[in-house]
Structure 1
Amino acid sequence: MAFADESSQNNGDYRSISMIVISEEHCNEINDKLNEILAEYDLNPKNFKWNKFNSKNKVNALEKFLKYLFRLIFDNLVFIHTIIWDIHDSRHEIVGRDDTENLSRMYYKLIKNFAKDKLKNGDILTIFPDRNNSIDWNRIEEILLNDGIVNTEELSFCTVEFSKVSINESNTDENTLIQIADIFAGMTRTSYDDYEKYEQWLNRHQQSLFPNENLNKLQISGRERHRFMIYEFVDKHCKHRSWSVSLKEKKGFYTFDKFKPLNFWFYQPQHDEDKAPVKNDK
Structure 2
Amino acid sequence: MSIKFLEPSHEDSNSRQPTHIAFTDESQYNVGRFGGLGMVSLRYSDLHSVVTDLTAILQASNLTEFKWNKLRSARERFAALKLVEFAVKKASTKNLRLDILTWDTHDSRHTVVNRDDIANLHRMYHHLFKNVMRERWSNDATWLLYPDEHTAMKWHEVDFHLGNVSHRLHATPNLFKPYSLVDLERVFNIREIKPCQSSQEPLIQLVDLFTGMAVYSRSEYEKYSVWQTTNDEQMSLLELIQPSVNELSRGEQEKCHVLNDFKKHCEVKKLGVSLQSSQGLRTFNPQNPINFWWYAPQHELDKAPTRQKQRS
TM-score normalized by the length of structure 1? 0.87
Report the counterpart of residue 182 of structure 1 in structure 2.
208
User: How do 1:137-148 and structure 2 match up within 5 A?
Assistant: 137-138=155-156, 140=158, 144=179
Q: After alignment, is 123-132 or 8-17 more displaced?
A: 123-132
Give % identity. Answer: 30
| One-letter amino acid of the counterpart of residue 189, structure 2 | K
The verdict on how the C-alpha distance between 1:189 and 1:205 changes in structure 2, with shifts beyond 3 A counting, is: closer
Whole-angstrom CA distance in 2 between matches of 1:145 and 1:209? 54
| One-letter amino acid of the counterpart of residue 164, structure 1 | N
Report the counterpart of residue 124 of structure 2 in structure 1.
106
- Say whether the 8 Å CA contact 1:108–1:140 is kept in structure 2: no
Q: After alignment, is 166-175 or 10-19 more displaced?
A: 166-175
Matched, 1:17 2:37: yes
Whole-angstrom CA distance in 1 between matches of 2:136 and 2:151? 28
Report the counterpart of residue 298 of structure 2 in structure 1.
270
The verdict on how the C-alpha distance between 1:215 and 1:36 changes in structure 2, with shifts beyond 3 A counting, is: farther
Matched, 1:234 2:262: yes
Report the counterpart of residue 192 of structure 1 in structure 2.
218
Report the counterpart of residue 154 of structure 2 in structure 1.
136
Matched, 1:60 2:86: no
Whole-angstrom CA distance in 2 between matches of 1:69 and 1:168? 23
Which of 126, 130, 135 lines up with 1:117 in the alignment?
A: 135
The verdict on how the C-alpha distance between 1:228 and 1:24 changes in structure 2, with shifts beyond 3 A counting, is: same
Q: Which runs of 5+ in 1 are unaligned?
A: 151-160
Q: Which runs of 5+ in 2 are unaligned?
A: 1-20, 164-177
Q: Deviations over 1:52-88 (max 9, x none)?
A: 0011121112212322222111111100001000111
Deviation at 1:255, TM superposition (A): 0.4
Report the counterpart of residue 165 of structure 1 in structure 2.
190
- Say whether the 8 Å CA contact 1:21–1:80 is kept in structure 2: yes
Whole-angstrom CA distance in 1 between matches of 2:243 and 2:233? 8
- Say whether the 8 Å CA contact 1:13–1:86 is kept in structure 2: yes
Matched, 1:85 2:103: yes
| One-letter amino acid of the counterpart of residue 262, structure 1 | I
TM-score normalized by the length of structure 2? 0.79
Q: What SS is found at the alignment partner of 2:38?
A: strand
The verdict on how the C-alpha distance between 1:165 and 1:52 changes in structure 2, with shifts beyond 3 A counting, is: same
- Say whether the 8 Å CA contact 1:200–1:215 is kept in structure 2: no
Q: After alignment, is 25-34 or 163-172 more displaced?
A: 163-172
Q: After alignment, is 80-89 or 54-63 more displaced?
A: 54-63
Whole-angstrom CA distance in 1 between matches of 2:219 and 2:95? 31
Q: Aligned-residue CA RMSD in angstroms?
A: 2.5
- Say whether the 8 Å CA contact 1:112–1:144 is kept in structure 2: no
